């Protein structure tokens, strides 16, 4: 991990392009550094000035004495390369390049950015930007940006690919009462990316939660690696914009069509413990929840309310998310029956009724906090004429302090009359919402993250499987030599067999006699299919004969297929006839793979057969994660196919061990051979003992 302390806690900062004109960005940066209370030395650089904002000005970075850790560059793009070189000669460790006009404008800008990168590499200067707002650390304190204002000190780090988002969120944070440890604007990510900053914020003791706004991820595999480790330490919540399905539309396999890049992001985030926010408000609600609350020990929620409707909405949302409404102990229920009005609902949600004053809320809080079947508490208050929002806020705060291990969420449903109560809650660190759905979303994020942390004991990695990679290599070589990218059935089956993935071996016969010999060897009944790279839909041209029980039937079928195909498609090259055994028992599942441009091979598993795309009963994992039994089992149990595999309606259970092994080996195969772009084993029939892959589609590309 690279130590980026020279960016967040520099001893000396130079501002290149510092200006004495208040309307210029170079002025704002110097002014922000001063106003933030930065304790190190600030060195404005401007060849025309002697002094800027009361600070002595230098004509160039080379004239500054001592080590400059950080340079903030704010000169026009055409001057940036020279300035960067001067920084390099002066031994600057990190540079924030505010300037726009690089990669984002294309053409010359792209060229300029490449040159800037090369200078950074040559002189070992770590670059932030270009085309960024800068960065801030409230604990140093340091404001090396041209944003307006400096956030309240807090424990949230916000990393953003959009500069506008940094500025807007900062402005909003003042009224929202949100405190930050760091603000980082990534800009064009010419060098340092979200990955470096996630690592750095994970190591930052002042950061409790990391929020990220990302449009893309720089290096998918490294991102997963870094986030998997970082999530074990603190939560990462990402709002990823751009949920295009363009990739999915272009795919030719079932798996490819179901996958798409958005799915890859989902899978990668989930796998690495990253929470994905659906929108800006969820991002910050989650940030606030993690920033102020302890992690819940479980998923059981108690709701306390003075109004039925909102509580029903909250209950519905809780159930939809898979969280649980807590079931109170008998002792709790007895006490509530005794102490609350007869009309109250004493089961969860606890409805203390519309005429409730603070005393009923206080009593219900006591009940919910003390019951050990409750993992978190949500108070929903509507501003009835007798409600006491501020006193109730005070009660919530008292219980929060008394029971610091249980998270509390407040939903103050209303506006004007609740402002003061809300303010009290927010100030004291209670996540406070206007509507229950957002509160449940934030709570759900916390529960899921807590689950990730608990389940985090590394499962033992499976031993490497015995494989014959030479056969796979040779097969791919032959296919490419034949100027094809799609494997024929006998080739795919050879590849699977070489990796020990159970497959119905298909053999190519080039004569009637050979077809008969193969049939004899593999055992009747058999299926014959024409083999030609030009015939995708074999049945349509009469190229398939099934259920052949003896030599005579095979001979006749062979000749019939040849005759029909030659008649329909006289010009199609016929490689021969593929012979395979009839296999018709077992549960039909699919194992597939599509390769994501960012995250690499992604494995799909689910209900197989011709309705895969319709039923969409599929779970996804990055192949790299399928190296242990637990991960593969989890992937299987997520699908409805699992219900069938366990033995549905009196059926015997299928051989799940064989399926686990097949998934494990498929994940291995696609990691070992990067030339496989897409793959479907559909169906794979899972028998009571063993499994058999029937239709196998493999597409490769030239490496
Ligand atoms: N070393 C130090 N200072 C230099 C210099 C050098 N080699 N060459 C020029 N300067 C000075 C200039 O004289 C000027 O100072 P002055 O006000 O005293 O004349 C100062 O640096 C700035 O240069 P100027 O030409 O006035 O540029 P500018 O301030 O109008 O614009 C940028 C510079 C970087 C702000 C502009 O090019 C830009 O990129 N703007 C967009 C920024 C942006 O949106 N970023 C992304 C946010 S998401």
Going by pLDDT thresholds of 50, 70 and 90, the confidence category of residue 248 is: very low
pLDDT of residue 485: 94
Rounded CA-CA distance 693/506 in Å is 11
Same domain, 563 and 597: no
Between the CA of 17 and the centroid of ligand 1 the distance, in Å, is 5
Amino acid 256: pLDDT: 59
627, part of any domain: yes
Beta strands in 109-208, from DSSP E residues, in sequence order = 126-128, 134-137, 142-145, 152-160, 179-185
In a domain, 44, yes or no: yes
- Judge if the beta carbon of residue 85 lies within 6 A of ligand 1: no
The response to whether residue 17 sits with its C-beta less than 6 Å from ligand 1 reads yes
Quick one: 533 and 616 in the same domain? Answer: no
Mean pLDDT score, 553-559: 96
Name the residue at shortest CA distance from atom 43 of ligand 1: 100
Atom of ligand 1 nearest to the CA of 129: 46
**Among 212, 36, 154, residue whose Cα is nearest residue 426:** 154
25 belongs to a structural domain: yes
Candidates 27, 75, 104: which one to mutate for ligand 1, based on the most atoms within 8 Å of Cβ? 75
Residue 608 domain-assigned (yes or no): yes
pLDDT digits (tens, 9 = 90+) for 61-93: 999 999 999 999 999 999 999 999 999 999 999
* Residue at 225 is within a domain: no
What digits encode the pLDDT tens for the residues 494-519?
999 999 999 999 999 999 999 999 99
Residues 512 and 415 both lie in one domain: no
Same domain for 93 and 65: yes
Are 373 and 507 part of one and the same domain? Answer: no
Index of the ligand 1 atom closest to the CA of residue 21: 17
Q: How far apart are CA 196 and CA 182, in angstroms?
A: 14
Question: The domain spanning residue 41 has which CATH number?
Answer: 3.40.50.720
Cis status of the peptide bond prior to 120, with omega within 30 of 0: no
Residue nearest to atom 16 of ligand 1 (CA): 19
Residues present in the chain in total: 703
Please tell me the predicted confidence (pLDDT) of residue 538: 87
Query: Based on the domain organization, do 574 and 593 belong to the same domain?
Result: no
Same domain, yes or no: 410 and 450: yes
Answer yes or no: do 336 and 307 share one domain: yes
CATH of the domain at 609: 3.30.470.20
**Calpha distance 289→79 (Å, rounded):** 44
163 in the same domain as 71: yes
The tens digit of pLDDT for each residue in 564-601 reads: 999 988 999 999 999 999 988 899 999 999 998 889 99
Question: Does 81 fall in a domain?
Answer: yes
What is the number of structural domains in the chain? 4
Q: Which atom of ligand 1 is nearest to the CA of 146?
A: 47
Has residue 259 been placed in a domain? Answer: no
Same domain, 650 and 517: no
Question: For residue 592, what are the domain limits?
Answer: 587-700
Task: Calculate the average pLDDT of the chain.
Answer: 93
Residues 214, 161: contact at Cβ < 8 Å? yes
Q: Do 591 and 571 belong together in one domain?
A: no
97 lines ligand 1 (CB under 6 A): no
**366 and 447 co-located in one domain:** yes
Domain assignment present for 460: no
Confidence of residue 154 (pLDDT cuts 50, 70, 90): very high
Q: Whose CA is nearest to atom 21 of ligand 1?
A: 17
pLDDT digits (tens, 9 = 90+) for 625-657: 999 999 999 999 999 999 999 988 888 899 999
The span from the CA of 507 to the CA of 493, in Å, is: 9
Q: What is the pTM of this model?
A: 0.88
Evaluate: CB of 142 within 6 angstroms of ligand 1: no
Atom number, ligand 1, closest to the C-alpha of residue 101 = 39
CATH of residue 513's domain is: 3.30.1490.20
545 with 496: CB under 8 angstroms?
no
Sign of the Cα pseudo-torsion (494, 495, 500, 504, in order) = negative
Nearest CA to 45 out of 11, 9, 77, 70 is that of 70
Listed residues 528, 561, 581: the one ending a domain:
581
Beta pairing class for 134-137 and 142-145: antiparallel
Q: pLDDT value at position 311?
A: 87
User: Given 173, 207, 241, which residue is the final one in a domain?
Assistant: 207
How far is Cα 228 from Cα 270, in angstroms, rounded to an integer?
Answer: 10
Task: Give 320-324's long-range contacts (Cβ < 8 A, gap of 24+).
Answer: 321/440, 321/441, 321/444, 322/444, 323/299, 323/440, 323/443, 323/444, 323/447, 324/299, 324/300
Boundary (domain end) residue, out of 174, 207, 240: 207
Which of 46, 64, 97 maximizes ligand 1 atoms within 8 Å of its Cβ, making it the mutation to test the pocket? 46
Q: Is the pLDDT of residue 208 over 70?
A: yes
């Amino acid at each position: 991990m690279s130590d980026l302390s020279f960016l967040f806690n520099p001893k000396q900062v130079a501002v290149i392009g510092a200006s004495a004109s208040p309307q210029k960005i170079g002025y704002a940066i110097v002014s922000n550094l001063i106003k933030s209370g930065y304790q190190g030395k600030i060195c404005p650089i401007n060849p025309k000035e002697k002094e800027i904002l009361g600070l002595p000005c230098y004509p160039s970075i080379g004239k500054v004495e001592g080590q400059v850790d950080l340079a903030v560059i704010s000169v026009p793009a055409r001057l940036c390369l020279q300035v960067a070189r001067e920084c390099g000669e002066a031994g600057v460790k990190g540079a924030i390049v505010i300037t726009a006009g690089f990669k984002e404008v294309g053409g010359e800008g792209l060229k300029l950015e490449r040159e800037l990168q090369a200078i950074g590499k040559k002189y070992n200067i770590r670059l932030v930007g270009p085309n960024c707002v800068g960065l801030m650390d409230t604990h140093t304190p340091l404001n090396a940006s041209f944003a307006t204002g400096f956030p309240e000190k807090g424990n949230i780090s916000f990393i953003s690919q959009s500069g506008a988002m940094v500025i807007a969120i900062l402005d909003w944070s003042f009224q929202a009462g949100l405190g930050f440890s760091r603000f980082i604007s990534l800009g064009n990510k010419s060098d340092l990316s979200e990955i470096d900053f996630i690592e750095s914020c994970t190591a930052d003791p002042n950061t409790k939660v990391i929020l990220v706004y990302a449009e893309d991820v720089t290096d998918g595999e490294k991102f997963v690696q870094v986030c998997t480790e970082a999530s074990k330490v603190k939560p990462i919540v990402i709002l990823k914009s751009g949920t295009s399905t363009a990739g999915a539309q272009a795919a030719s396999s079932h798996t490819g069509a179901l996958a798409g890049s958005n799915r890859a992001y989902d899978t990668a985030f989930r796998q690495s413990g990253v929470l994905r926010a659906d929108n800006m408000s969820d991002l910050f609600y989650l940030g606030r929840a993690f920033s102020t609350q302890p992690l819940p020990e479980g998923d059981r929620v108690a709701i306390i309310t003075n109004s039925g409707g909102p509580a029903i909405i909250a209950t519905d949302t809780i159930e939809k998310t898979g969280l649980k409404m807590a079931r109170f102990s008998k002792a709790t229920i007895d006490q509530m029956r005794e102490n609350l009005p007869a009309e109250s609902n004493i089961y969860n949600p606890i409805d203390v009724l519309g005429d409730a004053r603070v005393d009923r809320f206080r009593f219900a809080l006591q009940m919910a906090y003390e019951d050990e079947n409750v993992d978190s508490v949500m108070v929903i208050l509507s501003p009835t004429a007798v409600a006491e929002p501020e006193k109730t806020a005070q009660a919530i705060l008292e219980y929060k302090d008394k029971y610091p291990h249980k998270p509390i969420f407040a939903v103050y449903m209303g506006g004007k009359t609740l402002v003061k109560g809300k303010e009290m809650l927010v100030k004291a660190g209670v996540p406070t919402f206007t509507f229950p759905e957002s509160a449940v979303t934030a709570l759900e994020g916390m529960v899921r993250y807590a689950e990730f942390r608990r389940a985090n004991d590394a499962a033992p990695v499976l031993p490497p499987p015995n494989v014959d990679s030479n056969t796979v290599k040779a097969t791919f070589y032959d296919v490419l030599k034949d100027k094809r990218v799609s494997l024929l059935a006998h080739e795919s089956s050879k590849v699977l067999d070489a990796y020990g993935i159970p497959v119905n071996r298909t053999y190519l016969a080039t004569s009637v006699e050979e077809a008969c010999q193969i049939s004899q060897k593999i055992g009747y009944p058999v299926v014959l299919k024409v083999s030609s790279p030009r015939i995708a839909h074999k049945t349509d041209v009469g190229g398939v004969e099934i259920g052949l029980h003896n030599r005579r039937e095979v001979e006749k079928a062979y000749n019939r297929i040849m005759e029909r195909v030659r008649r329909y498609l006289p010009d199609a090259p016929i490689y021969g006839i593929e012979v395979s055994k009839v296999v018709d028992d077992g549960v039909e599942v699919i194992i597939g793979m599509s390769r994501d441009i960012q995250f690499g091979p992604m494995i799909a598993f689910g209900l197989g057969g011709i309705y895969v795309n319709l039923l969409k009963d599929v779970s996804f994992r990055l192949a790299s994660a399928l190296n242990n039994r637990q991960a593969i089992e989890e992937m299987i149990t997520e699908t409805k196919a699992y219900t069938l595999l366990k033995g549905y309606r009196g059926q015997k259970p299928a051989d799940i061990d064989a399926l686990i092994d097949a998934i494990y080996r498929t994940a291995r195969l696609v990691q070992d051979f990067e030339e496989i772009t897409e793959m479907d084993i559909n169906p794979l029939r899972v028998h009571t003992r063993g499994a058999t892959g029937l239709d196998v589609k493999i597409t490769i590309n030239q490496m």
